[in-house]
Structure 1
Amino acid sequence: MTSTAAGVGRALRLVVALLVTAAAVVGAVRLVAPATAGIDGEPSGVRRQLTFLRSALDDGAGEQAQQLFPEGYFFSHALYGLAWVDLGLRAPAAQRAQALTEARWALSRLESPAGRAPFPADLTPEYGVFYQGWTNWLRGGVLSLQPADGRDPGELARFTDAAVALGGAFDAAGTPFLPAYHGQAWPVDSTVAMASLRLHDHLLPARFDATVGRWLVDVRQRLDPATGLLPHRVNSATGDPAEVARGTSQALIHRFLPEIDAAFAREQYLRFRREFVASPLWLGPAVLEYRAGTDGPADVDSGPLPLGVSLSATVVTLGAAQLHGDATLAGALANYGEFVGLPVDTPNTRRYAFGLLPVGDGFLAWSKTARPWVAGTPDPPPATVSWAWRLPLLSILLLAALLPWLAMSLRRASLPG
């Protein structure tokens, strides 16, 4: 080998070693740097993430998500609007203009023909409880960003009318779980709708206390017998469990249940955390789709289930933990997300997983901005995650950083004279 070729080889090996070390350092920083800001602070990078999301939505990301699952268009816009409400509620009233504008834009997409398209108009309530619950929750968020004496009359009327329709549907039903589609009901959808009734009574004179009280009594009578949690799916006629509790719906339920009843929410959250939060291969906290010790098939709700973990449930649980005051779990999930999510930054944007699935960015932004709209600040539950969960990953990163330099040292030692 010529001296020139040898020099090029050494330079290439040095560059590789430097790149591997830099990647390991970046990974370590993402594992240990604070990645959440609680319910009052603003999470770092979320505004840039929302800038990316708005651009993606303008370019058709909602329509693309609709090809992946039935509520893809709806969720893509709803999560964008809800994250902006969460950010706006952190700011003084005089600084909420951008949040209000963006949340209104998202709401207009939900109220459009494209937003309503997947949902049957002949259900009670109209278009089903999924559509009405999530849409009215965002309507209430838009109103929350406005001063009480300056709310838009049209927005106020639509919010009130939808709440009255939802309350009437719950009062008339023989089950606490209204249908989202013909003959299909998921408790998580009714949980969101019930939270919107609580939001009504938080913003306006109370009128749904009796409805909420009956709902809580009826829900307690229809819990999943295996876990004591709300089931994933129920018989649409009776509300009886038709499928065991699952991580994807549980994560969403625990984002909304504290807004309805603090005591019931805490009881359910502690059960969920015990049954579904795990550390497969000791490589960080994650949320299982099926409770520990059991398994089941993946589907459009869960996505792929590596080691039984639902990535979507893990992301949403970050927000649920933050809403419950579980700062150690929320922080751990956020750090793990920063590590495995491969965020890419530009001066104006941030995207995760290279921006290949913008609806995933929507779920993450909504989770990192989580804060109560109705409930007060909760008492933190007992911590179950210690800082030590990072040690196996940090050890792997340290080994990865050292190996190229060790290989170069051994190579030099093996060369003659």
Structure 2
Amino acid sequence: MLRRIAAVLVTLIALVAAARLVTPQQTPGVRQQLTFLRAQLDAGAAEQAQQLFPEGYFFLHALYGLAHVDLGRTAADPAPDLREARWALDRLATPAGRQPFDAGLAPAYGVFYQGWSNWLRGGILSLHPDPALRRDFDAASAALAAAFDAAPTPFLAAYPGQAWPVDSTVAVASLRLHDKLGPPRYAGTIERWLSGVRQRLDPATGLLPHTVDPVSGAPTSVARGTSQSIIQRFLVDIDPAFARSQYLRFRTQFVVRPLRLGPAVREYPVGRDGPGDVDSGPLPLGVSLSATAVTLGAAAVQGDGRLAGALANYGELIGVPVSTPWSKRYAAGVLPIGDAFLAWSKTARPWVAAQPAPLPPGVSRTWRLPFLALLALGVLLSWLPVARSVSGRRPG
């Protein structure tokens, strides 16, 4: 009897896992994730995230608000999403939201703080015009543009003496969003930025580097998956043609199938290894789980539907989501920032550019077969002792 019960449980688990692998998963469940995240935010999850990495409080609120903007853009009634996004934006402007950043930088509090805040601000305006918020958006955009125009490098500092190209990419995307919402003012700033970026690509990969010298903008490290996955999400709204070429380079050098499973995203390019950090997390077989989750959104905005779908299904399998009729969380909800990145990635769509033409698939249709074969083998092995027991009780 115990063997039968164990075999039935293994079979049920395998069926659930197989369903998660083959059922489209890109946007279902996002509202339930956001319900979970709001409850966690109200319970102090942002303050706890701040103890894990420097932008924890900021990122958890920002991603929550951005996911609501994405949902609101296609909702029949965007008012609830607009309300939640405004609430998140208000949290960014509090002392807790600004605490890690330096007010003396140009722009004030640094390009990370201003870029992400301005992107969320513009997203909210795209849902509903608001004169006061528009004034804030115009002022923040002007300050960002002035800082880029005055700098000798396209990559502004996020912290004193430290610059990451990904942060400037978000900020420049917010300027492009400003010009879409009108009146257009920053085409010259954006073109100069693109020209400067093309002169400072990582020579090893041809991609934007992970870190740069804050004075010259020269690369100081190779491109990495955690920053590339975000860069590819935003670059399409700045220059779709440049973004397509960058994304194809990224997909070739970072998207892999470790142990012939996957797909997954490496933290370092194929053929190179390095240490993990608080952003990448542990790197089993060189893979960053955070970069893998965020690449789902990058693939979606680039029209790489098969990779986006595969990453979503893969996440449903290894993320072990727990759902109720009202909420959904991954990995038992122990790391809400991970849920926030995944919710934001599942809602991805361009805000400025038109949806790019679909890409030729970079992932085989058969990628699920090894997983399904392993699940079938597990079921078979669980039933063998039962079969032997039944056979042994038959009269000879």
Which residue of structure 1 lines up, in the alignment, with residue 325 of structure 2? 347
Correspondences of 1:283-302 after superposition (within 5 Å): 283-302=261-280
1:174: Cα distance to partner? 0.2
Is the partner of 2:73 in helix, strand or coil? Answer: helix
Cα distance in structure 2, aligned partners of 1:32 and 1:399: 18
For this pair of structures, how many residues does the alignment match? 395
Which residue of structure 2 lines up, in the alignment, with residue 126 of structure 1? 108
Which residue of structure 1 lines up, in the alignment, with residue 313 of structure 2? 335
Cα distance in structure 2, aligned partners of 1:380 and 1:256: 17
Cα distance in structure 2, aligned partners of 1:153 and 1:379: 35
1:394: Cα distance to partner? 0.3
Correspondences of 1:5-404 after superposition (within 5 Å): 10=1, 12-36=2-26, 43-92=27-76, 95-146=77-128, 151-404=129-382
Q: Does 1:407 align with 2:385?
A: yes
- Structure 2's unaligned 5+ residue stretches are none
Tell me which moved more, 366-375 or 12-21.
12-21
Cα distance in structure 2, aligned partners of 1:255 and 1:81: 16
Cα distance in structure 2, aligned partners of 1:282 and 1:119: 42
- What is the CA deviation profile of residues 277-308 of structure 1, one whole-angstrom value per residue up to 9, with x for unaligned ones? 00000112000000011100111121100100
- What is the CA deviation profile of residues 339-370 of structure 1, one whole-angstrom value per residue up to 9, with x for unaligned ones? 11101011100001011101100000000000
Tell me if the contact between 2:3 and 2:385 (Cα under 8 Å) persists in the aligned partners: no
One-letter code aligned to 1:381: L
1:412: Cα distance to partner? 2.8
- What is the CA deviation profile of residues 259-282 of structure 1, one whole-angstrom value per residue up to 9, with x for unaligned ones? 000110001000000000000001
Cα distance in structure 2, aligned partners of 1:217 and 1:259: 16
Cα distance in structure 1, aligned partners of 2:244 and 2:268: 20
Is the partner of 2:180 in helix, strand or coil? Answer: helix
One-letter code aligned to 2:335: L
Cα distance in structure 2, aligned partners of 1:44 and 1:58: 24
Cα distance in structure 2, aligned partners of 1:290 and 1:343: 27
One-letter code aligned to 2:49: A
Cα distance in structure 2, aligned partners of 1:176 and 1:384: 31
- What is the CA deviation profile of residues 13-65 of structure 1, one whole-angstrom value per residue up to 9, with x for unaligned ones? 222111110000000000001112xxxxxx21111110000000100110111
- Structure 1's unaligned 5+ residue stretches are 1-9, 37-42
Cα distance in structure 2, aligned partners of 1:65 and 1:415: 58
Q: Which runs of 4+ in 1 moved over 3 A?
A: 414-417
Tell me if the contact between 2:201 and 2:209 (Cα under 8 Å) persists in the aligned partners: yes
Cα distance in structure 1, aligned partners of 2:162 and 2:24: 41
Cα distance in structure 2, aligned partners of 1:343 and 1:308: 24
One-letter code aligned to 1:76: L
Cα distance in structure 1, aligned partners of 2:382 and 2:256: 33
- What is the CA deviation profile of residues 362-382 of structure 1, one whole-angstrom value per residue up to 9, with x for unaligned ones? 000000000111010101122
Q: TM-score of the superposition, structure 1-length normalised? A: 0.94
Is the partner of 2:361 in helix, strand or coil? Answer: coil
Which residue of structure 2 lines up, in the alignment, with residue 4 of structure 1? none
1:413: Cα distance to partner? 2.6
1:415: Cα distance to partner? 4.5
Q: TM-score of the superposition, structure 2-length normalised? A: 0.99
Cα distance in structure 2, aligned partners of 1:411 and 1:240: 69
RMSD: 0.9
One-letter code aligned to 1:246: R
- Greater C-alpha Rg: 1
